[in-house]
Amino acid sequence: MISSLQWRLSLTLTGAILLVAIGAGWLGFKSAYDDTIGLQDDLLMQVGSLLDRLEVTLPEEGLVGGYPGADHEFRITLQRLDGPGRGSTSGQHLLALPADLPDGLQTVLAHGEYFRLYVRTLRSGPRIALSQETDVRDQIAYRNAWRAVLPFLALVPLLLLVIHRLVRGLLAPVNMLSQEIDRRRDDDLQAIATTTLPREIQPFVEAINRLLERVAYTLAAQRRFVADAAHELRTPLTALSLQAERLEQSGLTGDARQRLARLRSGIERAKTLLHQLLTLARTQAAAPRENAVVAVRALIRQVLESLLPLAQQKNIDISVDAPEDVHIASSELELLLVLNNLLDNAIRYTPAGGHIDITVRQQPGQVRVVIADDGPGIPMAQWQQVFEPFYRLNGNQEPGSGLGLAIVKAIADRLHIDISLAFSDPDQGSGLQISLILPAAAAATPVP
């Protein structure tokens, strides 16, 4: 069973058309053939009745009809059936016919060939036979029949082509729809527009839309749950942190003090994790914020200021190459989060004494920000996975939650920022280079 509707429709219609064409063709052929034969019979009869009415005197033996130049096989032969010379072989075109042939039309075999015969008893007495070879008559009839059906048969391929085109055209909206859905981003759960679709597939698309709505609702509920859980956990964790602080002031022995320090760093890590989780849930749940015009260089400077202690501690050299007047139209707070996570990673995962280069370039309609470090980088096979929540590379010694890049991805999707990873040093396959392509601020937007 062929599962393609297009093929099934095409095949069924083609089959039906061919059947009709064969049937109609055969009927047309047969009626044209019969008509021609009938006309030829009429001709014989008319000649007979003409002779009868003219009352001509007939020669004893008979005569050969036709007119000069006529195809000799097509000739009509007139002969007497009752003359004294009947049956003599002197006339080479005369047929040996029995005298008692009945009046009327008939087909007889004579001299090894078939002849169509019209026998008539004239009013003046003699009996005559008008004859014509059937072969020639049949050929003419065949030729006429073919002429009648050929134009029709020639139209059949054209009709098939039209049907093929039509079926393809009718199913085009379905193909376009699937392409449109395929092109969607993972988180794009918006309803599919049904206004331009044929009425037959609208119920199907409406069902998909209802499903999308339910999925969006479930997803939102899940994200709310994560956000609520993270939020609820914050209070007891803060209390825990306070208790640990008090404990430190209550004069502990050396061993207990050491254990308390480990406990406190654990609590700190949990707090960071909760904070990240909350940020991720919020960025995923909230609607995109109002766009503002953001100066890229100032933004990078702001992020670097907060990360400077860590960079200095590891003696990492950071260079910024950014024109002052590059602006983008975006949400400043969320951009801060993106840059903060990316630069925090670069500083964290680059060994002491490393370098980080930040480049900003204005391009037509967009701004390109590239952050490149000379650390170990990320293997190409994991370039996609690192953006998943809680995904961290094996053997990672740095404290962290694996949520940073997931937050970056969630924001980038919402703000239409294009992120791509590469190696800073492609030959060695080392160093991470992250490129961000952001929509530039519209030229007319006033720059604060």
Ligand X SMILES: Nc1ncnc2c1ncn2[C@@H]1O[C@H](COP(=O)(O)OP(=O)(O)O)[C@@H](O)[C@H]1O
Residues that bind ligand X (CB under 6 A): 341, 345-346, 349, 373, 375-378, 386, 391-393, 396, 400-406, 432
**Per residue in 72-94, is it b (16+ CB within 10 Å) or e — as a string?**
eeebbbbbbbebeebeeeeeeeb
Q: How many residues belong to the site for Mg ion (CB under 5 A)? A: 2
Binder of residue 28, out of Mg ion, ligand X, none (CB less than 5 to 8 A by kind): none
Dihedral Cα 22, 24, 27, 30, nearest 10 deg: -70
205 or 432, CB closer to ligand X? Answer: 432
User: Which residue has the closest beta carbon to ligand X?
Assistant: 404
User: Which residue has the closest beta carbon to Mg ion?
Assistant: 404
State the nearest-atom distance from the C-beta of 432 to Mg ion, in Å: 12
Dihedral Cα 56, 60, 62, 63, nearest 10 deg: -70
State the nearest-atom distance from the C-beta of 335 to ligand X, in Å: 16
**62 contributes a contact to Mg ion by CB under 5 A:** no
47 or 280, CB closer to Mg ion? Answer: 280
41 or 413, CB closer to ligand X? Answer: 413
Cα distance between residue 31 and residue 14, in whole Å:
25
Cα distance between residue 349 and residue 343, in whole Å:
10
Binder of residue 40, out of ligand X, Mg ion, none (CB less than 5 to 8 A by kind): none
Contact criterion met (CB below 8 Å) for 326 and 357 = no
Which 3 state secondary structure label does DSSP give 347? Answer: helix
- Give residues with Cβ within 8 angstroms of 234, minimum separation 6: 271, 274, 278
Which 3 state secondary structure label does DSSP give 403? Answer: coil
User: Mask of contacts with Mg ion, 396-425, x by CB under 5 A?
Assistant: --------x---------------------
Binder of residue 402, out of Mg ion, ligand X, none (CB less than 5 to 8 A by kind): ligand X
State the nearest-atom distance from the C-beta of 405 to Mg ion, in Å: 7
Cα distance between residue 210 and residue 181, in whole Å:
15
Contact criterion met (CB below 8 Å) for 111 and 95 = yes
State the nearest-atom distance from the C-beta of 167 to Mg ion, in Å: 54
201 or 270, CB closer to Mg ion? Answer: 270
Residues from 121 through 180 that contact Mg ion (CB under 5 A): none
62 or 404, CB closer to Mg ion? Answer: 404
Name the token pair of 219: 């997803």
Contact criterion met (CB below 8 Å) for 117 and 106 = yes
Binder of residue 349, out of Mg ion, ligand X, none (CB less than 5 to 8 A by kind): ligand X
Residues from 315 through 374 that contact Mg ion (CB under 5 A): 345
Binder of residue 375, out of Mg ion, ligand X, none (CB less than 5 to 8 A by kind): ligand X
294 or 342, CB closer to ligand X? Answer: 342
**Of 424, 421, 339, 341, which is closest to residue 375 (Cα–Cα)?**
424
Contact criterion met (CB below 8 Å) for 319 and 356 = yes
Which residues contact Mg ion (rule: CB under 5 A)?
345, 404
